[in-house]
Chains A and B, each alone.
Chain A
Amino acid sequence: MNVRVAVQPETERRFDRNAEDPRSEDFHDHLFALEEEGELVVQRVPEPFIEVMTKYGRTKKIPLDQTWHHKSCGQCGHIPGYSTSIIWIVRKLGYDYLDPTDQTSCTAWNYYASATSNAPAQAAVAHRNFAAAYETGYYPLIHCGTSYGHYKETREEIMHHAELRKQVREVMGKLGKPLVIPEEIVHYSEYIHAARNMIAERQVFDFSDIGVCIHPACHYYKLVEEDAIYDEDIYGGQRTATVTGVVTALGAEVRDYSTFFDCCGFGFRHILVSRDFTRSFATLRKIEVMKEEADPDVVISHDTGCVTTLDKSQYATGVAHGANVGVPVMSDSQFSALAMGAHPYRICQLHWHSTEYRPLLEKMGIDHEKAWAEFQQDLEDLKSGKKDYLTWEDIEN
């Protein structure tokens, strides 16, 4: 087998960017003009921030401190180590954050699945959350790739359609909230990408033996593509740098495969009511191709649906159809947290994942048996009533 290692894409074609002459308008010009006209308020990225390059060569500010954690339904509901790892990393880096209860889902999973909503409702849900963050003084950090994608869509719609803007402003008025929009819509994986060197400085396990296949999330870089991070040093600036950047910074080996650009098969409605499609696509177009071409130790992605789909689809296709599967799947936040010494169960919560991950932990040098015993003791403490909950303080002390 010939393992393909990602350095430069195998193509002669190049996408050359020019920040002076980008292919799309700079949405900031519109936002600030609307703000000046008193139509809306733009929440500025607080300092300190890190500047990165986006698809068309513009600069995007990624805030480090005072982040308002806009959580994800599927992460918190079904793979909670995903979001726990994000927050743990922020805590470890020593930055302030807020984990709000005044937050709803973006509701876009449902919208893309069932269309039982409309543009004004979707924009109003987005702006209610933006206003809730603004009221606290913290800056929205979006955990879900679909929320991130959908919020970029609603931003485009709000900027370009005065009638919609008026309608949403009226709804916000009924809630007693202003129409606020963040200067940048920031995905948590961009935070991790921007902070990757700080994360690598705190690395305690050697990942140089770990082979990784990366699955980039469609709603991150295909939906309103101009906000996604690119970097000339990563894939020659030809693919999004997010995820690959941190995996490389941690010294792991990124292995390329031919269906990198394919979606995972989540399908929004399919994962819930037509999972035969989801399973087939995830297996035939992603996991089996990765296995055959790159034989990774782990698949790393940066969105709720992708991690869920790629992890959960492997059981049935492996057992029932003998498919060439069996690769653990996790988020860049879990992977980074493990590198920094996070507990695989208390923080990364890997026991919620389906595909066998213990050989990977062993290869990383992590003693999962000891960790599991510690976690079982935590559960005993909860069962016996010694503790009601496990807290950050419990696990950090």
Chain B
Amino acid sequence: MGLFADKYPDVSYEEKLRLWDEVKADARFPDYLYGCYECGICVSACPSARFYDFSPRKIAQAAAREDIELIYEQMNDDVWNCSQCFSCNRCPRQNSPGGVITVLREVAVNNGLKSAAQALEGYSRIVYKIMGTGTQVSPDMLQPDAFPDWGPQVKQVSDELDLWRRALPPETLHTTKASWQVDERTLIELYLIWYNTGVMDMIANVDEGLNLILSDVMEEMLEEAGYEI
């Protein structure tokens, strides 16, 4: 039994334990957690702790205590608040609460947790961009309706985009749909990595529609290049 009331009583203890075992089975996990002094140094450095009800110390504590219910709750309610800045790496116990969170998130995605799917809503076009084009953002994403808070200058960029890109001296930067020009052969190699490391299955677990769109794009190019998927 954990120290706190179980917030997800409908999910069985066995299921929560199974997810926790997956976290512990990650080869990186032993390097991310060595126990916890509960000193709070990580919290004092943590940007997310200043703005959310969020604490890397609680994450480290729950993991060190193996509080299965609390870990499950954090996996759903907390981990997506983390900024992944790794300011918490200054931990005197040599922990990386941010690293623990990376693994918790990955297990949440791998198991298709509803909270993970919700956290990634509105984010799928970015996943599509990075996995499909090999660069994370593109110049044509700079649209005033997407970034109204960035000021009127965004509209100017989007109005002049093609011209301004052609005015960039590095010839790799004349692109508008990717951050820089990526060779087709390079993209094929990237797609092979996604298929050979289980990433396509991870995507299917949280967003089946995205998986279908990505598969369409990738499989066509891979087949043309002579690869069987």
Contacts and interface: CB of A to CB of B under 8 A. Distances in A.
7 contacts: A73-B130, A103-B182, A105-B130, A132-B186, A263-B87, A392-B170, A395-B169
Given A77-B137, A171-B196, A315-B150, A391 B83 contact: no
A245 interface: no
Given A73-B135, A171-B192, A354-B150, 8 more contacts: A75-B179, A78-B139, A80-B168, A84-B169, A103-B186, A110-B131, A118-B202, A315-B150
Contacts of A87: 169-170
Contact of A124 (B26, B105, B197): B197
B109 A104 contact: no
A285 B47 contact: yes
A364 B183 CA distance: 40
A85 to B, nearest CB: 10
Given A118-B197, A268-B84, A105 B179 contact: yes
A294 interface: no
Nearest to B122: A273
Most buried by A among B126, B127, B187: B126
A290 to B, nearest CB: 16
Contacts of A346: 167, 169
A12 interface: no
Interface in A53-92: 71-78, 80, 83-84, 87-88
A116 B183 CA distance: 24
Contacts of B109: 114-116
A211 B102 CA distance: 38
A353 B190 CA distance: 31
Contacts of A218: 85-87
Interface of A: 71-78, 80, 83-84, 87-88, 99-105, 107, 109-121, 124-125, 128, 132, 149, 156-157, 160-161, 163-164, 167, 170-171, 174-175, 218-219, 222-223, 225, 261-263, 265-270, 272-273, 275, 277, 279-281, 285, 312-313, 315-316, 319, 346-347, 349, 351-354, 375, 378-379, 382-383, 388-392, 394-395
B173 A83 contact: yes
B151 interface: yes
Given A71-B179, A315-B151, A118 B199 contact: yes
Chain A interface SS verdict (over half):
helix
Given A104-B186, A118-B197, A354 B130 contact: no
Interface residues of B, number: 83
A185 to B, nearest CB: 16
A272 B84 CA distance: 14
B115 interface: no
Q: Which one of A87, A101, A116 has the greatest number of beta carbons of chain B within 10 Å? A: A116
A273 B148 CA distance: 13
A347 B163 CA distance: 15
Contacts of B180: 71, 76, 101, 103
Contact of B51 (A109, A118, A281, A347): A281
Given A74-B137, A119-B26, A354-B151, A383 B169 contact: no
Given A132-B186, A161-B27, A383 B192 contact: no
Interface in B72-119: 80, 83-87, 89-90, 102, 105-106, 108-110, 116, 119
A134 to B, nearest CB: 14
Contacts of A115: 102, 105-106, 108-109, 116
Main secondary structure of the interface of B (DSSP, over half): helix
Contacts of A80: 139, 165, 168, 173
A116 B126 CA distance: 11
B150 A312 contact: yes
Contacts of B192: 171, 174-175
A132 to B, nearest CB: 7
B6 interface: no
A351 B151 CA distance: 13
B166 A104 contact: no
B89 A223 contact: yes
Interface string B188-211: 011011101111001100100000
User: Which residue among B153, B169, B182 has the maximum number of chain A CB atoms within 10 Å of its CB?
Assistant: B169
B123 A273 contact: yes
Contacts of A392: 169-170
Contact of A262 (B28, B47, B84, B123): B47
Given A114-B126, A116-B202, A118-B106, A265 B137 contact: no
Contacts of A281: 47, 50-51
Q: Which of the listed residues B27, B86, B116, B171 has the most CB atoms from chain A within 10 Å of its own CB? A: B86
A110 B126 contact: yes
Interface in B153-170: 153-154, 156-157, 160, 163-170
A80 B166 CA distance: 12
A194 to B, nearest CB: 22
B118 to A, nearest CB: 11
B135 A285 contact: no
Given A118-B198, A285-B47, A349 B170 contact: no
A225 B91 CA distance: 12
